[in-house]
Amino acid sequence: MHGVKRVRYSREALEAKKQKEQAKLKEYLSLNDDVLAKRNAGDWSKDAFDLTTRVLHANAEFYTVWNYRRDILINSIFPNSSPSEVHDRIGDELSVTTSLLKQHPKVYGIWNHRRWCLANIPDGPSDTDLDGWRKTIWNKELYVVEKMLDADARNFHAWNYRRYVLANMPMKRPAQAELVYTTRKIEANFSNFSAWHQRSKVLTSLWEGGQLDPHKSKEEEFDLVKNAMYTDPGDQSVWIYHRWLVGAGNAYDILQREIASIQELLDEQPDSKWCMESLVFYKRLLLRHHARQLSEADRLSLTQECLRLLTGLQDIDPNRRQRYEDLAADVKKIN
């Protein structure tokens, strides 16, 4: 159970609450018994189907009832329906799940049923347009999932579903459109790491597919991140994304430039943990990958700078003191 406030009841109030709950309990138990009895008897009637709707509205996590509902659809309703009726039925199923998702946006079983619906759209509307229904319904899914992400921009069920739709829809959307979507989500809230994550996936595929020039596009990303860092240097989403952009740190010039830029921010915000932590990380990348381009004096000063920052981090971020001690020991050992 998540986020349910504890309420303290007096004995009388508790008794009253129990009384009130009794009616609900009785109703639920009879629904529960009915639906399981029908399921055990292999009842695939319209009544049984309607009963599953009622049970699922009372308890959307009841996976056995979702399974039973699909059994009725597959074994009884679909075989006795025309393709157009099956199409309408899928539409009804999607509506049921939409209204349930509004109440329970994090219930796996509802999202799962939606995926099952999409996989069961019949061919049609005609012999010459076999994918027509599929295209229309799948396209609408993106709209539904955007509504869900408007309500909770971090809902990972919704993001996973979004990626599933994008990857499987019959008429693919250009990946550029998804990049635009993540920009919109990030600009609405820099802390939305889910959107940054999605962006890293979309950009990777655009770079690999040759649809974007990696060099130019990375520079734009560095600008975006810098803007976010300066807006709220305490927001870890941005720093994690920045680490992805720098990657293995093979580009010496970029590494030096980013170090300088973070140093500048640290000068303005001398207590910024993320500036310090990132500086240690990037300076260590310099030492590890570019030692030959550095003078002996450079290497020594980088090492000392790392150790100084790690000492500072132990003070301002004591929760992770041991990690900073371990890193310092490592820096000393290597250099």
Binding region for other proteins (CB under 8 A)? 1-6, 8, 18, 21-22, 24-25, 28-29, 32, 36, 39-40, 58-59, 61-64, 66-67, 70, 108, 112, 115-116, 154, 156, 159-160, 163, 167, 191-194, 197-198, 200-201, 235-237, 240, 243-244, 318-323, 326
Q: How far is the CB of 236 from other proteins (least distance, A)?
A: 5
Nearer to other proteins, 21 or 264 (CB): 21
Characterise 57 by phi-psi region: left (phi > 0), alpha (psi -120 to 50), beta (else). alpha
Q: How far is the CB of 86 from other proteins (least distance, A)?
A: 19
Distance, in Å, from the CA atom of 18 to the CA atom of 57, rounded to the nearest integer, reads: 22
Tokens of 237: 């989403």
Q: How far is the CB of 322 from other proteins (least distance, A)?
A: 4
Q: How far is the CB of 64 from other proteins (least distance, A)?
A: 4
Number of residues in the chain:
335
Nearer to other proteins, 243 or 290 (CB): 243
> What are the Cα distances from residue 196, in Å, to 64, 220, 241, 276, 327?
36, 14, 7, 22, 27
Q: How far is the CB of 48 from other proteins (least distance, A)?
A: 15
Residue 126 backbone phi and psi in degrees, to 5: -145, 170
Nearer to other proteins, 15 or 264 (CB): 15
Q: How far is the CB of 184 from other proteins (least distance, A)?
A: 18
Q: Are 216 and 206 in contact (CB under 8 A)?
A: no
Q: Position of tokens 């450079």? A: 298
Give the bridge partners for 116, in sequence order.
Answer: none
Residue 213 backbone phi and psi in degrees, to 5: -75, 115
Distance, in Å, from the CA atom of 93 to the CA atom of 68, rounded to the nearest integer, reads: 14
Nearer to other proteins, 7 or 297 (CB): 7
Nearer to other proteins, 62 or 133 (CB): 62
Nearer to other proteins, 308 or 321 (CB): 321
> What are the Cα distances from residue 308, in Å, to 201, 265, 292, 304?
35, 17, 23, 6
